[in-house]
Amino acid sequence: MVYHSSFVADDGVTRACGCPLLPLKSHIKGPAPTSDQGLKSLLIQDTTDIVDEAITFFRANVFFRNFDIKSPADKLLIYLTFYINVALKRLEGCRTLAVGTKAIINLGLENVPVPGESGFPFPGLFIEPQSHSEAELFRDYLKQIREETSGRLLSVAYRVNGTPNKWWLAFAKRKFMNVIAL
Protein backbone atom coordinates (compact mmCIF):
# COMPACT_ATOMS: atom_id res chain seq x y z
CA MET A 1 0.00 0.00 0.00
CA VAL A 2 1.35 3.40 -1.01
CA TYR A 3 1.79 5.97 1.75
CA HIS A 4 -0.02 9.21 0.97
CA SER A 5 0.61 12.68 2.28
CA SER A 6 -1.34 13.78 5.33
CA PHE A 7 -1.59 17.33 3.98
CA VAL A 8 -5.00 16.92 2.38
CA ALA A 9 -6.55 20.19 3.55
CA ASP A 10 -4.67 22.87 1.68
CA ASP A 11 -7.17 25.71 2.02
CA GLY A 12 -5.48 29.08 1.93
CA VAL A 13 -2.22 27.64 0.59
CA THR A 14 -0.65 29.30 -2.44
CA ARG A 15 -0.47 27.07 -5.51
CA ALA A 16 1.77 27.03 -8.53
CA CYS A 17 1.39 24.61 -11.43
CA GLY A 18 -1.38 22.84 -9.51
CA CYS A 19 0.93 22.11 -6.59
CA PRO A 20 0.39 23.49 -3.10
CA LEU A 21 3.38 25.46 -1.82
CA LEU A 22 3.32 23.83 1.61
CA PRO A 23 5.11 25.33 4.61
CA LEU A 24 8.54 24.00 5.50
CA LYS A 25 10.54 23.82 8.70
CA SER A 26 13.40 25.57 7.02
CA HIS A 27 15.96 28.30 7.43
CA ILE A 28 16.52 28.34 3.65
CA LYS A 29 15.18 31.41 1.89
CA GLY A 30 12.47 30.83 -0.65
CA PRO A 31 8.76 31.15 -1.39
CA ALA A 32 7.65 28.43 1.06
CA PRO A 33 5.79 29.78 4.09
CA THR A 34 7.66 29.26 7.35
CA SER A 35 5.52 31.06 9.89
CA ASP A 36 4.55 29.13 13.01
CA GLN A 37 0.93 30.06 12.38
CA GLY A 38 0.96 28.44 8.95
CA LEU A 39 2.82 25.40 10.18
CA LYS A 40 0.45 24.73 13.07
CA SER A 41 -2.60 24.88 10.86
CA LEU A 42 -1.21 22.52 8.20
CA LEU A 43 1.06 20.03 9.91
CA ILE A 44 -0.03 16.74 11.45
CA GLN A 45 2.08 17.45 14.45
CA ASP A 46 3.95 20.63 15.09
CA THR A 47 7.13 18.90 13.96
CA THR A 48 6.27 17.28 10.60
CA ASP A 49 6.32 18.81 7.14
CA ILE A 50 6.19 17.41 3.59
CA VAL A 51 9.97 16.83 3.53
CA ASP A 52 9.76 14.72 6.70
CA GLU A 53 6.94 12.72 5.12
CA ALA A 54 8.88 12.17 1.90
CA ILE A 55 11.95 10.90 3.76
CA THR A 56 9.89 8.78 6.14
CA PHE A 57 7.82 7.17 3.38
CA PHE A 58 10.61 6.93 0.78
CA ARG A 59 11.79 3.40 1.51
CA ALA A 60 8.24 2.07 1.28
CA ASN A 61 6.99 4.18 -1.64
CA VAL A 62 10.01 3.64 -3.87
CA PHE A 63 8.89 0.05 -4.53
CA PHE A 64 5.67 1.08 -6.28
CA ARG A 65 5.19 1.50 -10.01
CA ASN A 66 1.85 3.28 -9.62
CA PHE A 67 0.84 6.00 -7.21
CA ASP A 68 -2.84 6.84 -6.80
CA ILE A 69 -3.02 10.59 -6.17
CA LYS A 70 -5.52 11.42 -3.42
CA SER A 71 -4.57 15.06 -2.79
CA PRO A 72 -2.46 17.75 -4.45
CA ALA A 73 0.19 17.20 -1.77
CA ASP A 74 0.65 13.66 -3.12
CA LYS A 75 2.05 15.20 -6.30
CA LEU A 76 4.71 16.92 -4.24
CA LEU A 77 5.37 13.67 -2.37
CA ILE A 78 5.91 11.91 -5.72
CA TYR A 79 8.30 14.64 -6.86
CA LEU A 80 10.26 14.48 -3.58
CA THR A 81 10.43 10.68 -3.69
CA PHE A 82 11.94 10.92 -7.16
CA TYR A 83 14.35 13.65 -6.00
CA ILE A 84 15.47 11.54 -3.03
CA ASN A 85 16.13 8.70 -5.47
CA VAL A 86 18.28 11.02 -7.61
CA ALA A 87 20.13 12.29 -4.53
CA LEU A 88 20.83 8.76 -3.29
CA LYS A 89 22.25 7.87 -6.71
CA ARG A 90 24.64 10.82 -6.36
CA LEU A 91 25.57 9.73 -2.82
CA GLU A 92 26.05 6.09 -3.79
CA GLY A 93 29.79 6.36 -4.45
CA CYS A 94 30.51 8.87 -1.69
CA ARG A 95 32.27 7.14 1.20
CA THR A 96 32.31 10.05 3.65
CA LEU A 97 29.86 12.69 4.76
CA ALA A 98 32.16 15.45 3.44
CA VAL A 99 32.25 13.95 -0.06
CA GLY A 100 28.49 13.32 0.09
CA THR A 101 27.83 16.90 1.11
CA LYS A 102 29.84 18.15 -1.86
CA ALA A 103 27.88 15.87 -4.22
CA ILE A 104 24.56 17.11 -2.82
CA ILE A 105 25.64 20.75 -3.11
CA ASN A 106 26.54 20.15 -6.77
CA LEU A 107 23.12 18.54 -7.31
CA GLY A 108 21.50 21.62 -5.79
CA LEU A 109 23.35 23.89 -8.23
CA GLU A 110 21.87 22.13 -11.25
CA ASN A 111 19.05 23.70 -13.23
CA VAL A 112 15.58 22.82 -11.89
CA PRO A 113 13.16 22.25 -14.76
CA VAL A 114 9.46 23.04 -14.31
CA PRO A 115 6.52 21.39 -16.10
CA GLY A 116 6.64 22.04 -19.81
CA GLU A 117 10.45 22.18 -19.93
CA SER A 118 12.64 19.33 -21.08
CA GLY A 119 14.08 17.36 -18.21
CA PHE A 120 11.02 17.55 -15.96
CA PRO A 121 10.61 13.95 -14.73
CA PHE A 122 6.80 13.70 -14.65
CA PRO A 123 5.35 15.69 -17.57
CA GLY A 124 1.66 15.03 -16.82
CA LEU A 125 1.86 15.31 -13.04
CA PHE A 126 1.74 19.08 -12.71
CA ILE A 127 -0.08 21.70 -14.76
CA GLU A 128 2.14 23.76 -17.02
CA PRO A 129 2.68 27.30 -15.72
CA GLN A 130 0.30 29.93 -17.07
CA SER A 131 2.84 32.74 -16.83
CA HIS A 132 6.55 33.35 -16.46
CA SER A 133 6.06 34.52 -12.87
CA GLU A 134 4.23 31.29 -11.96
CA ALA A 135 7.05 29.26 -13.54
CA GLU A 136 9.66 31.17 -11.54
CA LEU A 137 7.65 30.84 -8.31
CA PHE A 138 7.40 27.08 -8.80
CA ARG A 139 11.09 26.81 -9.78
CA ASP A 140 12.10 28.73 -6.65
CA TYR A 141 9.87 26.54 -4.48
CA LEU A 142 11.33 23.36 -6.01
CA LYS A 143 14.86 24.69 -5.43
CA GLN A 144 14.04 25.47 -1.81
CA ILE A 145 12.37 22.13 -1.13
CA ARG A 146 15.16 20.21 -2.88
CA GLU A 147 17.80 22.00 -0.81
CA GLU A 148 15.89 21.31 2.40
CA THR A 149 15.40 17.66 1.44
CA SER A 150 19.10 17.28 0.63
CA GLY A 151 20.16 18.57 4.03
CA ARG A 152 17.82 16.26 5.89
CA LEU A 153 18.69 13.31 3.65
CA LEU A 154 22.37 13.62 4.54
CA SER A 155 21.48 13.12 8.20
CA VAL A 156 19.86 9.74 7.47
CA ALA A 157 22.14 8.57 4.63
CA TYR A 158 25.24 8.96 6.80
CA ARG A 159 25.84 7.89 10.36
CA VAL A 160 27.01 10.29 13.07
CA ASN A 161 30.62 9.21 12.49
CA GLY A 162 30.38 10.22 8.78
CA THR A 163 30.25 6.72 7.28
CA PRO A 164 27.52 5.77 4.79
CA ASN A 165 24.35 4.11 6.07
CA LYS A 166 24.00 1.07 3.80
CA TRP A 167 20.33 0.69 4.76
CA TRP A 168 19.63 3.97 2.97
CA LEU A 169 22.14 3.98 0.15
CA ALA A 170 21.00 0.52 -1.01
CA PHE A 171 17.81 2.21 -2.24
CA ALA A 172 19.79 4.15 -4.86
CA LYS A 173 19.42 1.14 -7.14
CA ARG A 174 15.60 1.29 -7.13
CA LYS A 175 13.52 2.85 -9.91
CA PHE A 176 10.53 4.83 -8.68
CA MET A 177 7.44 4.52 -10.91
CA ASN A 178 9.71 3.09 -13.66
CA VAL A 179 11.43 6.45 -14.06
CA ILE A 180 15.19 6.17 -14.32
CA ALA A 181 17.02 8.71 -12.20
CA LEU A 182 20.19 10.05 -13.75
CA torsion, points 127, 86, 28, 138, in degrees to nearest 10?
-10
**Least trusted range by pLDDT, from 11-20, 41-50, 169-178:** 41-50
Please tell me the predicted confidence (pLDDT) of residue 173.
79
Q: pLDDT by residue (tens digit) across 32-74?
A: 887 554 445 454 445 789 999 999 999 888 887 788 888 899 9
**Residue 176 predicted with pLDDT over 70:** no
> What is the Cα–Cα distance from 120 to 117, expressed in whole angstroms?
6
103: pLDDT strictly greater than 80: yes
Could you tell me the pTM of the whole model? 0.88
CA distance 54 to 83: 10
Domain architecture of the chain: domains with CATH: 15-173 (1.10.1760.10)
Q: What is the pLDDT of residue 26?
A: 85
- Rounded to a whole number of angstroms, the distance between the first and last alpha carbons of the chain is 26
Per-residue pLDDT, 10: 66
Averaged pLDDT of the chain: 85
pLDDT of amino acid 38: 47
